[in-house]
Structure 1
Amino acid sequence: MGIPVGKLSLLTDLYSINNVMIVMQCLPITIDVGTNNETLLNDEYYIGLRQRRATGEEYHELLQEFMNAVKQNYGEKVLVQFEDFANHNAFDLLAKYSKSHLVFNDDIQGTASVVLAGLLAALKMIGGGLVDQTYLFLGAGEAGTGIAELIALEDVELLVLQTELPVDDCRKKIWLVDSKGLLVESRKESLQHFKKPFAHEHEELKTLLEAVQSIKPTVLIGTSGVGKTFTQEVIEAMASFNEKPVIFSLSNPTSHSECTAEEAYTWSKGTAVFASGSPFDPVEYEGKTYVPGQSNNAYVFPGFGLGVVISGAIRVHDEAEEATQENFDKGLIFPPFTNIRKISASIAAKVAAKAYDLGLASRLPRPDDLFKYAESCMYTPLYRSYR
């Protein structure tokens, strides 16, 4: 329960709607479908459901009943945020219910949005565009494939005025490595469906270092959940054929980070454009201070939630420039968290604008200035002193 409670705390702290205008109800829910953990099943103090995990038809019938009940009790505009679902369920549930409910998966969509924003900021430091990069991911789960797909879709969006390039062609510059090695065409039949679009023609490679040396990516992204996998050899290889290698070590907590900020800057001799999922202190290297950016979903989902609420959106479609030159000079591609409320209001305004443009908003008429309207709706935790 700590996960949904924590998410709702951030939603409240970073954007909460003014309760004079509308009553916001945030409900943390854990759906217990049992466990296959023998230790828990035999623990007399275990408070969860004492049965093997429900799967298949039984599982999907439960989720269908839950989603129907949510809409029946709270209406068409209730936002359901999926969190921490297993890979094979997460993609299926998002695809299924995005057509009938207002849903958002933070692990897939939130993570992808933050990382894409970081990449766009990084390009201002290294030059070129998204379409000019070659991407290699370590990790092919919800986060990795979600980020990869959003990059491909963004490439299509950027090229739409110049070419008929289909999304499949954009995916060809995006490579993923999972626990068995590089995703390649010869492995396609054994891959989960969400991995298959990124299995390209290439010889089979078992290690990340082999993949880096062969593919020569300009961007290396870690979503593996396995610490110390961006080794010195991997970072040095990235730096050997990139003037400024982009290295995102996104796994949490710190012990699971693919590499530390100090390792990235030191092994690349200060050339890396680095961001991480875990917080790292600034790094001194050869007289210069580098400030690592933190790719945190808190940049996105509070503002997204606010934008959905203030527009009265009934669906979400997959469709902010806050980093400054001062940030770039320090190697910082994400804005500091001290600006988070302004960032949330900016994102909320853009989400709401998209909802209005697509005809998905139900709160009418449309405000003239969506940014100011978003700010006016935000909860400010200032209280009267009684002493």
Structure 2
Amino acid sequence: MSKQTKIPLEETRKKIWLVDSKGLIVSHRKESLQHFKKPWAHEHEPCTTLIDAVKAIKPTVLIGTSGQGKTFTKEVVEAMASFNKKPLIMALSNPTSQAECTAEEAYNWSEGRAVFASGSPFDPVKYNNQLYIPGQANNAYIFPGLGLGLVMSGAIRMHDEMLLAASEALACQVTQEHYDKGMTFPPFSNIRTISANIAAKVAAKAYDLGLATRLPRPEDLVKFAESCMYSPNYHIYR
């Protein structure tokens, strides 16, 4: 957010609100908070429940990573849909039984307007004669390409900007057609192409930062990434 808007990190951090077991993380709780929560403690009145926090903050995106199933209730999703044309609902906790809500619940409770992603796969959902394909926010999208980019460039150090490059490379591969289907990620069936493009961007960033040791820099990093990939093809012997 800071990079895209050119707004200082401290300011963009104020756009992100966290909720823990005691409710909204706010500044008056700072003394009792664990150190990693303190940067996210903003000025606000206390909210002890998720629904109260959602109604007060009016977020555009709801991300669940607590491992507490069914926390995105009908009331919570309906509230998100009441002030967002296309609320982004990310129920990322695994396994499926611990997901904050199901894909079907997200689409039904938002009248088909939610953009949904989960940590574990959900089947496509039909709502009002339209088929919605839930996104799977799985680290398999990023990690293979990230690792390949580091190896193929001979990077001597991992940098935050390389992680950001991997994320941006993935986002750039989502088309309007995918968005129209309610997808937040490109089809996993294209994972080799996706990974090659991510690897190329990560490697490029390693070269730009002076962290790459494989010299000279390949002219076409995508093609080089593809050439470095393992292909499980074997000769047939009689």
Q: Shorter-chain-normalised TM-score: which range? A: over 0.9
Higher relative contact order (CA 8 A, sep 6+): 1
Q: Which residue number corresponds to residue 284 of structure 1? A: 126
* Identical counterparts, % of pairs: 72
Q: Which residue number corresponds to residue 156 of structure 2? A: 314
Q: For 1:329 and 1:203, how far apart are their aligned partners in 2?
A: 38
Q: Does 1:339 align with 2:190?
A: yes
2:95 to 228, 248, 253: 253
Greater C-alpha radius of gyration: 1
Q: For 1:304 and 1:243, how far apart are their aligned partners in 2?
A: 33
Q: Which residue number corresponds to residue 365 of structure 1? A: 216
Q: Deviations over 1:243-288 (max 9, x none)?
A: 1111111111100100000000000010111111110000011111
Q: For 1:330 and 1:242, how far apart are their aligned partners in 2?
A: 18
Q: Which residue number corresponds to residue 4 of structure 2? A: 158
1:210 to 44, 52, 61: 52
Q: For 1:157 and 1:166, how far apart are their aligned partners in 2?
A: 8
Q: Deviations over 1:164-183 (max 9, x none)?
A: x3211111111000011110
Q: How many residues align?
A: 229
Q: Does 1:234 align with 2:81?
A: no
TM-score for the superposition, normalised by structure 1: 0.58
Shift of 1:185: 0.3
TM-score for the superposition, normalised by structure 2: 0.94
Q: Deviations over 1:122-141 (max 9, x none)?
A: xxxxxxxxxxxxxxxxxxxx
1:194 counterpart letter in structure 2: F
Q: For 2:176 and 2:11, how far apart are their aligned partners in 1?
A: 33
Q: For 2:227 and 2:84, how far apart are their aligned partners in 1?
A: 45
Shift of 1:322: 1.4
Q: Which residue number corresponds to residue 180 of structure 1? A: 22
Helix, strand or coil for the counterpart of 1:339? helix
Q: For 2:201 and 2:124, how far apart are their aligned partners in 1?
A: 32
Q: For 1:226 and 1:264, how far apart are their aligned partners in 2?
A: 16
1:172 counterpart letter in structure 2: K
Helix, strand or coil for the counterpart of 1:172? helix
1:308 counterpart letter in structure 2: L
Q: For 2:121 and 2:231, how far apart are their aligned partners in 1?
A: 26
Q: For 1:217 and 1:340, how far apart are their aligned partners in 2?
A: 31
1:166 counterpart letter in structure 2: P
1:300 to 142, 162, 186: 142
Q: Deviations over 1:205-227 (max 9, x none)?
A: 11000001111111111111111
Q: Which residue number corresponds to residue 164 of structure 2? A: none
Q: For 2:175 and 2:109, how far apart are their aligned partners in 1?
A: 26
2:106 to 264, 267, 292: 264
5+ residue gaps in structure 1?
1-154
Q: Deviations over 1:175-196 (max 9, x none)?
A: 0000111100011111111111
Q: Deviations over 1:329-387 (max 9, x none)?
A: 21112111110011111111111000001000011111111110010111110011123
Q: Does 1:327 align with 2:178?
A: yes
2:4 counterpart letter in structure 1: L
Q: For 1:171 and 1:260, how far apart are their aligned partners in 2?
A: 29
Shift of 1:325: 2.1
